[in-house]
Chains A and B, each alone.
Chain A
């Protein structure tokens, strides 16, 4: 039996008892064993729509499609403008406060607890599942706060984030020395620096990994769409460049969940479909990266 086929079976097994058709593939959070779907929902730019009712309704429809397809983890930040309010509206409309795996960030050099409480009210959830220190801002002050809140049961998981390769050395040091459940950083077909140190370290330390910018805010797809999808992409059931890019990101064994952002229902369905089909094995991942590097 080919390794790829083995991987397919392993993936299907991980889909759980709810049925391979219905439930997306999941990965375990190392610190607890809790499983979350491989594909989440980011909200940078896409959910920052202000108070415009039609745009908010559109975001709620995206969330509906996301949850209907089995998605759970939604990620935001106080830095994302009105996104937290828009998520809160959507969760209330869909009555999905218990269903969502809520991931947000603390982004201040000041009173992190006050900001976190403001974020919680905007999300309209009883508590956050995951709270991360955004871009390592004042992490020396905010991480102990988050850990204390976790110890009191006010949070479930604690993490740190960065993006676009910023401060990787310091990020790595924090991963080595602090108690972390999650880390979040950029990983995609072109930005693969994390493969060198951060991803292996996360696997070694038992830290869950969220990956952002899987499409480089659309820049990667705009580059790729100048070419036709290679015929061999059908072997891993990719029907678009977006699925190709997303499959690459989530198939790294150390990645727990990717969080592509979108404001389109068809795109969120397409993204979640990635967590249903087969995932590329290592030779296929190398082939994907080589193909895109030559693009």
Chain B
């Protein structure tokens, strides 16, 4: 295909906004009240990371790995593939992030790491509060995007957790942050397109 340059971003949106939100709604309904459990995990992340203990931080990374694996399988692979041909690729990216998080959890951190910057707690709070965007943007609660269920809040939580890690090598943080940042960019583009 030599004419990719001639396609606009909107050409890749192959479903209508109501169909997308209906998909999110059906997904949420199918797994309710699992979202409460996932919100509990989002709440646990800052508590674990604040301790600064290696075991607690490892547990936080493993929670994130589970969240990404779930998003990849339950949303992208099981649901989003119905309406978006690129969803299997998104599922694969989510699984890669899950594997990276699980692998990096067992790195040996430096003994004296820096305390987390305020931005880390801000990102973790954003991940926890992300479902509030639904009522604030005129959507039903059943269309809310919850950490551990949808990509954007999971990516925000991951970036916050990575920033809050103490003693983990810089290269590992950059590696763990790359896919969540890419996911957020894709999520932003999708939101922009479906809001048009």
Contacts and interface: CB of A to CB of B under 8 A. Distances in A.
Interface of A: 44-46, 48-52, 55, 79-82, 135, 137, 164, 166-167, 263
Given A82-B83, A166-B6, A50 B19 contact: yes
B14 A80 contact: yes
Contacts of A166: 3, 6
Contacts of A137: 1
Contact of A79 (B3, B79, B85): B85
B139 interface: no
Nearest to B10: A217
A82 B6 contact: no
Contacts of B1: 135, 137
Contact of B82 (A45, A46, A50): A50
Contact of A81 (B6, B15, B22, B79): B15
A81 B14 contact: yes
Contacts of A49: 15, 19, 22, 83
B16 A46 contact: yes
Nearest to A78: B85
Contact of B26 (A52, A135, A263): A52
Interface string B10-24: 000111100100110
* Interface footprint category on B: 10 to 19
A48 B14 contact: yes
Main secondary structure on B side of the interface with A: loop
Interface of B: 1, 3, 6, 13-16, 19, 22-23, 26, 79, 82-85
B1 to A, nearest CB: 7
A48 B19 contact: yes
Given A81-B84, A82-B83, A45 B22 contact: no
Given A50-B23, A52-B22, A80-B14, 6 more contacts: A45-B13, A45-B16, A46-B16, A50-B83, A55-B19, A81-B83
Nearest to B84: A81
A82 B82 contact: yes
16 contacts: A46-B16, A48-B14, A48-B19, A49-B15, A49-B22, A50-B19, A50-B23, A50-B83, A52-B22, A52-B26, A79-B85, A80-B14, A81-B15, A81-B85, A166-B3, A166-B6
Contacts of A164: 6
Contacts of B16: 45-46, 48, 263
A218 B19 CA distance: 17
Nearest to B2: A167
Most buried by B among A49, A80, A137, A166: A49
Given A137-B1, A166-B6, A48 B22 contact: no
